């Protein structure tokens, strides 16, 4: 391969890989692909910060080779052991035989569980500073943002933060810097990323970012492991504010309706509920789970205060795509305060109580349920409007 690195600062080059084709990132629909960012620090010693997903080794090697002979790399630093960043680390270690590989204590354990290495991994302590050939990296533990091993590295001389997954987004692109895109475009992709990857760890995010702000590190750039590099620090300040808002679960008067339908009965009920909530001033987003992906639903849940779920009964159960969406949202721990369940059935009618139970087990307050036998009658559609009214009142009470 003949690929070039991108110079980022006096000592740092981007040497990562672009994955234009990935559409399923462990269940998260990545409709715009992604990048696996890796970085090379070139000083009196050469250091590789993070690697790329397995399958992209040649791309990484080609970009490194455009700067230095890869065999000259002295050190590896692993800020995050998830295989999209470590999947080629043992291949690279076998090929290069670096003098040392640095990771957090949990990073060492995780990497050693996943891979075999020709050199022992050196664990670093929180706030430890190490000389990498005349330049210095300060390591900052960011445990559970979003894995136990996760850490930031701060290159003191260039005032650069390597932030691993934090502040990243899934976007395959030929551009490397944030100022080559509009802010709304990046903010939406970062929001989708937070919703689908980081939401369950929001308490940690608040603590980590508060502690990070206290450090008052001077920043020229922030280099995440996915998507563009932040070099507009005013924008990065806005991104930090967004992270704090998302972590604080700032919600709007917004309802997400999620439904599946067999013969349109549940769909008709959904439309009535949507209509009533809209009449009551709600922002409403509706998803048919037979068409929309679970991660598109999660992306909209980031600021929603109500979740309303509908399903037909199929063989005494929920529709499988509704079950999939509910399990995914439960894992993401959105803690949506207000919820309701609806659905249709022919003879047994288990879906609505099953939805209600799953919503309750996710921590939601289920304010109403409605079930329709075969098709929604005028009375049932009236009940759907009552359901929407109860959701609206509960949301108003929550905010007041
Ligand atoms: Fe991009 Fe948590 O891996």
Note the pLDDT of residue 134.
98
Contact 344, 373 (CB under 8 A): yes
Alpha carbon nearest to ligand 1 atom 3, residue: 82
Residues with CB under 6 A from ligand 1: 80, 82, 84-85, 146-147, 165, 225-226
Q: Could you identify the atom of ligand 1 that is nearest to the CA of residue 36?
A: 1
Note the pLDDT of residue 335.
83
Which burial class, exposed, middle or buried, applies to 173 when counting CB atoms under 10 A from its CB (0-12, 13-18, 19+)? middle
Note the pLDDT of residue 196.
97
Alpha carbon nearest to ligand 1 atom 1, residue: 165
Contact 154, 140 (CB under 8 A): yes
Note the pLDDT of residue 138.
98
| 170 carries an active-site annotation | no
Note the pLDDT of residue 400.
92
Question: How far apart (Å, rounded) are the C-alpha atoms in residues 111 and 102?
Answer: 11
pTM score, two decimals?
0.96
Compute the distance from residue 214 Cα to the ligand 1 centre, in Å. Answer: 25
Which residues, 6+ apart, have CB-to-CB distance to 240 below 8 Å? 167, 209, 213
Note the pLDDT of residue 241.
97
| 264 carries an active-site annotation | no
Question: How far apart (Å, rounded) are the C-alpha atoms in residues 247 and 199?
Answer: 7
Question: How far apart (Å, rounded) are the C-alpha atoms in residues 237 and 291?
Answer: 36
Note the pLDDT of residue 394.
98
Contact 324, 318 (CB under 8 A): no
**pLDDT tens per residue, range 57-67:** 999 999 999 99
| 146 carries an active-site annotation | yes
Question: How far apart (Å, rounded) are the C-alpha atoms in residues 143 and 145?
Answer: 6
Note the pLDDT of residue 389.
98
Query: What is the DSSP code string of 154-219?
Result: EETTTTEEEEETTT------S--BGGGS-HHHHHHHHHHHIIIIIGGGHHHHHHHHHHHHHHT---
For the record, the structure tokens of 52 come out as 């790329």
Contact 275, 281 (CB under 8 A): no
Among 19, 75, 80, 267, the active-site one is 80
**Which residues of the chain have a pLDDT value below 70?**
none
Among 19, 57, 59, 82, the active-site one is 82
Note the pLDDT of residue 147.
96
For the record, the structure tokens of 130 come out as 């190490």
Question: How far apart (Å, rounded) are the C-alpha atoms in residues 389 and 204?
Answer: 36
Give the closest residue to 334 by CA, choosing from 286, 360, 302. Answer: 302
| 80 carries an active-site annotation | yes
Note the pLDDT of residue 97.
95
Question: How far apart (Å, rounded) are the C-alpha atoms in residues 339 and 66?
Answer: 55
Question: How far apart (Å, rounded) are the C-alpha atoms in residues 229 and 8?
Answer: 9
Contact 9, 220 (CB under 8 A): yes
């Amino acid at each position: 391969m003949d690929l070039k690195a991108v110079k980022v600062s006096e000592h740092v080059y981007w040497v990562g890989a672009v994955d234009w084709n990935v559409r399923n990132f462990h269940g998260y629909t990545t409709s715009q692909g992604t990048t696996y960012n890796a970085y090379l620090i070139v000083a009196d010693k050469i250091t590789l910060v993070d690697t790329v997903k397995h399958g992209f080794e040649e791309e990484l090697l080609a970009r490194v080779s455009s700067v230095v002979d890869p065999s000259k790399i002295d050190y590896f630093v692993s800020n995050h052991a998830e295989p999209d960043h470590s999947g080629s680390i043992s291949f690279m270690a076998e090929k290069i035989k670096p003098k040392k590989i640095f990771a957090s204590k949990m990073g060492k354990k995780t990497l050693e569980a996943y891979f075999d290495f020709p050199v022992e991994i050196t664990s670093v302590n929180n706030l430890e500073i190490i000389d990498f050939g005349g330049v210095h990296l300060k390591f900052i533990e960011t445990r559970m943002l979003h894995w136990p091993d996760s850490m930031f590295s701060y290159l003191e001389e260039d005032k650069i933060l390597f932030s691993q997954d934090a502040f990243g987004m899934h976007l395959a692109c030929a551009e490397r810097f944030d100022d080559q895109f509009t802010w709304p475009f990046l903010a939406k992709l970062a929001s989708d990323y937070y919703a689908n990857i980081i939401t369950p760890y929001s308490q940690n995010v608040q603590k980590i970012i508060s502690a990070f702000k206290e450090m008052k590190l001077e920043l020229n750039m922030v280099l995440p492991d996915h998507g563009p590099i932040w070099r507009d620090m005013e924008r990065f300040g806005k991104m930090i504010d967004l992270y704090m808002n998302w972590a604080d679960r700032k919600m709007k008067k917004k309802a997400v309706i999620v439904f599946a339908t067999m013969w349109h009965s549940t769909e008709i009920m959904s439309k009535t509920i949507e209509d009533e909530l809209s009449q009551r001033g709600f922002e409403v987003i509706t998803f048919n789970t037979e068409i929309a992906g679970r991660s598109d639903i999660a992306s909209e849940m980031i600021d929603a205060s109500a979740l309303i779920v509908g399903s037909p009964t199929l063989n005494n159960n929920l529709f499988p795509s509704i079950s999939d969406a509910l399990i995914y949202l439960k894992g993401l721990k959105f803690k949506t305060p207000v919820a309701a369940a609806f659905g249709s059935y022919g003879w047994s009618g288990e879906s609505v109580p099953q939805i209600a139970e799953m919503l309750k087990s996710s921590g939601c307050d289920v304010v109403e349920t409605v079930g329709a036998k075969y098709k929604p009658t005028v009375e049932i559609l009236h009940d759907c409007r009552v359901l929407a009214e109860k959701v609206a009142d509960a949301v108003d009470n929550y905010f007041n």
